[in-house]
Amino acid sequence: MATTFDLADVKRRMQGAINAFKNDLASLRTGRASPNLLDPIQIDAYGSLMPISQVATVNVPEPRLLSVQVWDRGMVAAVEKAIRESDLGLNPQTEGQVIRLRIPEMNEQRRKEMVKVAHKYAEEARVAVRHVRRDGLDLLKKLEKDSAISEDDGKRHADQVQKATDQFVAEIDSLLVTKEKEIMHV
């Protein structure tokens, strides 16, 4: 079985780390309502844990209000309980099958905590990108050792992997700066 080096695959895996980072950032609360805010919440429904998106529709009728339309009347209490027990600090108000969530103003301390969490997510994404780089470089070394590619090709590919790594880490840093501004904006 001849293994080959595929730069496109390395970049695809690095892009996966970026996408996961974007999802993590989207779930961070900034003081404005966002349907993604409820993504981490799991509902105990029909004997298993489900994401809120599988039992309800989340809308943003106003900049600081979320509206959760629960599809099954019997699930309203479970959804309300899951929101109340989440660490999002939201207080649900239920009217029939609709749960309204006012997004409170964030104080300075809470904003700083959010920025710390965003930095943690960014570091996890950078580490994931570096792991992909390491895997790519390890493969190149193995191919070189097995004489499947020349030393020059190995060096050229290693440079391409490093350029891709730098590019993706820069994108992570850029996304982090943008999110930090969004969080700290009063």
Same domain, 41 and 91: yes
CA distances from 181 to 38, 121, 156, 176 (A): 21, 16, 38, 9
The reply to whether the predicted model has a pTM over 0.75 is no
In tens, the pLDDT along 31-86 reads 677 787 888 788 888 888 888 889 999 998 888 888 999 999 989 999 998 888 87
Query: Can you tell me whether residue 69 is helix, strand or coil?
Result: strand
Same domain, 92 and 122: no
Question: Domain for residue 62, yes or no?
Answer: yes
Same domain, 126 and 141: yes
Domain boundary among 70, 102, 134: 102
Q: Domain range holding 59?
A: 32-102
**How many structural domains does the chain have?**
2
Question: Domain for residue 2, yes or no?
Answer: no
Domain boundary among 82, 102, 122: 102
